[in-house]
Amino acid sequence: MTRLLTTSTLALVLALPAVAQTDCAAGKTIEEGVLTIATGNPAYYPWVLNDAPESGEGFEAAVAYALAEEMGFAADQVSWTRTSFDQSIQPGAKDFDVNLQQFSITPERAQVVDFSVPYYTSAMAVLTTGAVVEAGAEPTVASLKGLVWGADANTTAVPMLTDLIAPERQPLLYGDNVDVTAAMQAGQIDAALFDLPTALYLSAVVLNDGVLLGQFPPERSENPDQFGLLMEKGNPLKECVDAALGALKDSGRLAEIEATWLQDATGVPVIE
Amino acid sequence: MPTRREIFEARQRRRANLVAAGSTGLVVLAIVVLVPLAPGWEAVQRSFFNGEVFARTFPGLLNAFLMDIAIFAWCAPLIAAAGLLLAIARDLRAPALTPVKLAATAFIDIFRGLPVILVIYLIGFGIPGLGLPRPWNSPYLWGSLALILVYSAYVAEVIRSGIESIHDSQRAAAQSLGLSPRDTMRFVILPQAVRRVVPANMNLFIALQKDVALLSFIGPVEIFRQAGVYKSLLANFTPYVGAALIFLAITIPATRYADHLMSRQKRARS
């Protein structure tokens, strides 16, 4: 039903002539009248479905279109581009207005780039395989300490691993999700730490015999993993983005999008 | 009492030195003055040359560099041994040993022709994926093997060029003294050949020292990966500059040493 509503709203919006931007965003985008949004290359499920953000399918794609609408950009006034993590933090002019690809907000990163208010707060989840569970791994910190850990080196999972679990052996780090799962498949690592939606996807689709052993709810961590939209340092658009996100939160639209695209994770046991 | 010629030459030398110092000074001054005038300099400085980030990450980088040194230390002797064996195998002249010679040639052709990173991925993830138990699926083990395979192919080619540079008349002379082909290789050809290619091999080992960082792609947290982690957490590229400095501190003296060896060899031969 929600899907049908979204689609019809989209169709309606598309049928209308270009909507005027709210006063806030006018003249603050790279290209007048167009909001350029960046995502990852490739963009992963469930954040963007089928690596096609233009469809508005997937949590971040849906958030992007809702945000654009709130800021007064029609769907056809949204243009997509792709960046790597390094491209988004390099100094100099950016080729996007906002960038959303599960960037965790940290005070150190905020010295170099600007973040919006968070649009999602993620639990961290332990991804492992059935073989490791059979060998006796349990969702307790004591049991997790003894495993060989892996993580994506470009994520905040690395410090979280030290904070939450403090493994006995030094973790192995990889360049992206695919390499982490390859190492797990090869038996080189027992477990890896991911944000919960990514872990759900990897365990269900990518990894043979994948198991979600447990989750650390956000309130467990001192600095929970909060995702924000990344912008160039000092971008005047930030206040507009923050205001629009605030409105989406207040109206319940953001929670609605989350319910549509992100799986309910209450079935994953909480780690003691 | 200096001759007029000596006075003239001394003056010429002084002038040349002055011009060299002046032009170098000008270039340095231009860089120091002009680069910071670029509009983005402050942002670049904050991202790449951030003193605070540097101080915070440098000890961790040094610590991670120990991993690079360890990997290098166990790979280098194995590469030297494997390279020597391959070079000898390629030079076998007995007709019965042709299969060995062909195998060595094929091995060298394949591993010299592949990018190192590709071999590391294929061997580092592929072989352990066959289902080997721990510790036999360690990325350190298979990643090191990948480096050894590729670099021994390079080293073999260098040593072979050394072997071929020894004139055939020496083999004939050795055989006429009653040495077997094996002893000829061992006591006559190799001692000269290996000595001749020491500088070229030094260069290969300097390259290996840098390529050790590629092992980070399959898991080991060595200096390049550690710098990447800092980069990601601090959204700052300064840790890469720190890592570059640590690499240079090793590679520049090593390159100078190779140069020194090479020029000494040239003097000895002329």
A180 & A238 share domain: no
Tell whether domain B53-269 is in CATH 1.10.3720.10: yes
My answer on whether A91 and A38 are in the same domain is: yes
> Residues A140-182: pLDDT tens digits?
999 999 999 999 998 889 988 988 889 999 999 998 888 999 9
pLDDT at B22: 95
CA distances A17 to A6, A11, A35, B146, Å, are: 19, 12, 16, 60
**Would you state the structure tokens that stand for residue A249, as one six-digit string?**
């939160």
Q: Are residues A110 and A143 in the same domain?
A: no
φ, ψ of residue A192 to 5 degrees: the values are -140, 150
How high does pLDDT run on average in chain A?
Answer: 86
**Spatial contact of A53 and A61, defined as CB atoms under 8 Å apart:** yes
Chosen from B229, B232, B241 to mutate, greatest number of chain A CBs within 10 A:
B232
Burial class (CB in 10 A: 0-12, 13-18, 19+), B62: middle
What integer pLDDT is reported at residue A16 of this predicted model? Answer: 45
A26 touches chain B (CB under 8 A): no
pLDDT at A22: 60
Q: A245 in a domain, yes or no?
A: yes
In this structure, the answer to whether residues A66 and A80 fall within a common structural domain is yes
The ranges of chain B with pLDDT < 50 are none
| pLDDT value of position A21 | 57
Is residue A271 one of the residues assigned to a domain?
no
Q: At what angle do helices B223-234 and B51-90 cross, to 10 degrees?
A: 150
CB contact under 8 A, A188 and B234: no
Q: Residue A118 and residue A249: Cα distance in Å, rounded?
A: 10
Q: What CATH code is carried by the domain that includes residue A244?
A: 3.40.190.10
Q: Which domain holds residue A179?
A: 122-220
Going by pLDDT thresholds of 50, 70 and 90, the confidence category of residue A14 is: very low
Q: What percent of chain A clears pLDDT 70, i.e. is strictly above it? A: 91
Q: Which residue out of A85, A108, A148 would a mutagenesis test of the B interface target, given it has the greatest number of B Cβ atoms within 10 Å?
A: A108
Q: Does A140 touch chain B if contact means CB atoms closer than 8 Å?
A: no
On the question of pLDDT at A65 being above 50, the answer is yes
Q: Is residue A266 part of a domain?
A: no
A162 and A198: one domain? yes
Bond from prior residue into B199 cis (ω within 30 degrees of 0): no
A162 near A223, Cβ under 8 Å? no
Interface of B with A (CB under 8 A): 40, 43-44, 46-48, 125, 128-129, 131-134, 137-139, 216-221, 225, 228-229, 231-237
Which H or E element spans position A103? none
Collapsing DSSP states into helix, strand and coil, what is residue A36?
strand
Number of domains in chain A: 2
**Residue A15 reports pLDDT greater than 50:** no
Min distance A208 CA to chain B CA atoms (Å): 12
Statement to judge: residues A154 and A193 lie in one domain? yes
B133 vs A112: CA distance, rounded Å = 44
Determine the Cα–Cα distance for residues B228 and A153; give it in Å rounded to an integer: 7
On whether residue A267 sits in a domain, the answer given is no
> Would you kindly state where each structural domain of chain B is located, as residue ranges?
1-37, 53-269
> Which residue does chain B place closest to A182, by CA atoms?
B125
Q: Is B48's CB within 8 Å of A185's CB? A: no
How do residues B9-47 score in pLDDT, each as one tens digit?
999 999 999 999 999 999 999 998 988 888 888 888 888
**Do A174 and A40 fall within a single domain?**
no
In a domain, A89, yes or no: yes
Residue A184 CA: distances (Å) to CA of A53, A193, A211, B215:
29, 12, 12, 17
Given an 8 Å threshold on Cβ–Cβ distance, is A85 in contact with B129?
Answer: no
**Cα gap B23→B62, rounded to integer Å:** 37
- State pLDDT tens for residues B149-180: 999 999 999 999 999 999 999 999 999 999 99
Q: What pTM did the predictor assign? A: 0.81
If asked whether residues A250 and A126 sit together in one domain, one would say no
Whole-number pLDDT of residue A4: 54
